[in-house]
Every structure is written in structure tokens, then in C-alpha cells.
Amino acid sequence: MEIRTFPNEVFARLAPDVYFKRHLEKHTRPTGRKYLERRPINVKGDDEHIIKGSLGSAVVNSGNASVICGITAGLTNFIGEGGIYANVEIPRGSNSSVPSGEEQVTTMAIHRLIESALIPQANFFVSEQQELCLRASITVLSRTGPALDLIWECLVAALRNTRVPVFEEDERTLNMVATEDSRPLELPSTLAEHIHTYGFVGDEVFADIDGPIEEEEIIDRVSIARTADNVIMAVSLDSPNGCSLSTMERILSHDAATSHQ
């Protein structure tokens, strides 16, 4: 019988589970990174409005993953409804216009984090009858793993360079109109600065899941949102196999020590 050997890329496609286990046995990852090593993140935003006509924008790149966010505004007559509303688009194989389950789950996660930040309502005041609604349109241009971390990084960067218009009453129509003046948003310290997602297989913990093999084989995950002051704002656990207390403690400890590196 002829024994055939396959190149690594073919082996990975034919038997991804075996390929992944072989790496674990050697204490390596298919990506070549260390277990708790993250890819560098490049954030482009600041005062350069990448999206024409936006009030603020940002692009985040990490490896072969790229996310873009643009902030636009509108007015609402419903008092108390002014705020930041995010919509996430993630590329998928079909041409369906219906949001995918992943897009809906990610958008809801972003919405909950925005709500938990308790952003002052004064940011959205226009008049006694109107408030400002900011729409954050976030598009995942490319990715090689879970996108939540980069989506949030991009949103926060865009919000930090957003300038909203100053409004005044038109004496003739009595309507509120935007002037040429603008102001930055007042973002509280309770706004999460970063989200870090970890995966784990048994007692082994992995930072920054990347590549189709890791995304398929590492199904137990936890995401941690922290402020610039290193305060945890949210912990989301998605673990079909369960997570031991010792594993969770290791993840939290590592994240606290490295969250601003």
C-alpha cells in the first residue's frame, strides 16, 4: 500500500480537527502565534474623516482583517430617544438582504455596551422638542476570525473623532438648523475602550482567535470589555462545553495585565 503525504494546507482542509490537535500537542497554533499573543491593531481615524460626509470615521486593521465605521446624524422628535445607534454589516456568502444571525447578535452586543456606558444625554440635545440620533454604520470589509473586538475598536475610534453640529433656531421658520460650528462628543470614563475575546480548549487559553481552523475548532469563548481605567464593563461567555473557574480566573488575570499593551 502506498502511503501518501499531504502538504499542511491540504491536511488542514481534509482533517481540520486532527490538524489543530497536532498543533496543540506541540504547544503551537496554526497561525504560528503564541497561545496568548495578539496581532497588532492599527487604528486610522483621528481628525481625518475617511468617509466623505460623515461626522466622524475610523478604519481598523489587524492582520488580514479590516473594519470601517462612519458616523452620521439625524433628528428625532421623540424626547429621550436621542443617542448612538449602531448597525453592523458582516460579509457573507449569500446575497440575501436580510441581516444574518451573526450581524444581529453582534449589533445587539454593541447596543448593550453603548447603553452600559451611560453616555450623557446632553450630547444629543438640540431643543426642547428635538434630539440628535447618531447612526454608526460599521462594515467588516474582511476578517479571519471573530470580528467583535475590531468592530468595537473601530466604533470607539470613530466616536472619539466625531464632531456633532451645533444647532440654532431659524428666525423665519422657527425650525432648528445646523450651523457651521461643531463640538466633540463628551464620552464618559464608563465607555469600554477595548473588547478582548479569548477561546479555550480544556485548560488551554487562546487570545485573538484567527484563521478558519481556530475559528472552527475553538468553540468555547469569552469576551471581556474594559474601560481605559481597566474596569470591566461586561463579560460575555459562550461556552457549549462549560468553563472551569480556574480557566476563567486565568483569562481575567491575563486580560487585566495586558489590556493596554
Question: Is 42 exposed, middle or buried (CB count within 10 Å of its CB: 0-12, 13-18, 19+)?
Answer: exposed
Q: What is the mean pLDDT of the chain?
A: 88
- Segment 225-244, tens digit of pLDDT: 999 999 999 999 999 999 99
Question: Can you state the percent helix, strand and coil of the chain, rounding each to 5?
Answer: 25, 30, 40
Instruction: Map residue 196 onto helix, strand or coil.
Output: strand
User: What pLDDT was estimated at residue 235?
Assistant: 93
pLDDT cut 70: percent of the chain above it: 89
Picking from 185, 110, 100, the residue whose alpha carbon sits closest to that of residue 153 is 110
Residues 6+ apart with CB under 8 A from 156: 191, 192, 193
- Segment 33-53, tens digit of pLDDT: 999 999 999 998 765 567 778
> How far is residue 221's CA from residue 207's CA, in Å, rounded to a whole number?
10
User: What pLDDT was estimated at residue 3?
Assistant: 56
Regarding beta strands 194-201 and 204-207, do their DSSP bridges make them parallel or antiparallel, or are they unpaired?
A: antiparallel
Residue with cell string 431643543: 127
> How far is residue 220's CA from residue 223's CA, in Å, rounded to a whole number?
11
The most confident of 163-167, 175-179, 208-212, 220-224, by mean pLDDT? 220-224
Domains defined along the chain, listed by start: 42-184 (3.30.230.70)
pTM of structure? 0.89
Picking from 57, 169, 188, 48, the residue whose alpha carbon sits closest to that of residue 117 is 188
